């Protein structure tokens, strides 16, 4: 009869751990994953901004921004890993990905390449980047 309060205390402590401490650990563990989603969003925003636009090249000619900035190899990787195109290739949407797909090294390399190309394009041709 004398140990009831101790069992209640242990129960309260366990409930506190389950409700408070463990979720905090999970949130910290997911923080890195959230940063990856942010990077992906930035890469997709860059693709979206260029997909239907044309830019003026240094030669004075106009060209599709998407192809000019990313080049044929990276455009293929983008289509393969990051976006879904409609059948006539005029409409695209971000490819739905689960956490495991986002952690795929090929997807991460593509994201890194997109962000690097955008950065180098902005530095090399700031006037066209404003378009």
Where exactly are the structural domains of the chain? Answer: 31-129
CA pair distance 77, 1, nearest whole angstrom: 69
Query: pLDDT by residue (tens digit) across 8-63?
Result: 666 676 776 666 656 666 666 667 776 766 667 677 788 888 877 888 777 778 88
Q: How many CA atoms lie within 13 A of 48 on its CB side?
A: 10
Q: Is the pTM of this model over 0.75?
A: no
DSSP β-bridge partners for residue 94: 83
């Amino acid at each position: 009869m004398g140990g009831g309060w101790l069992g209640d205390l242990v129960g309260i402590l366990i409930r506190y751990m389950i409700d408070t401490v463990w979720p905090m650990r999970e949130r910290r563990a997911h923080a890195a994953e959230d940063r990856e989603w942010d990077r992906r969003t930035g890469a997709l925003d860059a693709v979206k901004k260029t997909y239907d636009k044309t830019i003026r090249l240094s030669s004075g000619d106009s060209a599709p921004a998407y192809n000019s900035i990313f080049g044929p190899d990276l455009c293929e990787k983008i289509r393969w890993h990051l976006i879904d195109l409609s059948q006539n290739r005029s409409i695209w949407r971000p490819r739905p990905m689960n956490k495991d797909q986002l952690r795929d090294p090929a997807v991460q390399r593509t994201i890194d390449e997109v962000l690097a190309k955008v950065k180098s394009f902005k530095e090399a041709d700031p006037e066209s980047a404003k378009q």
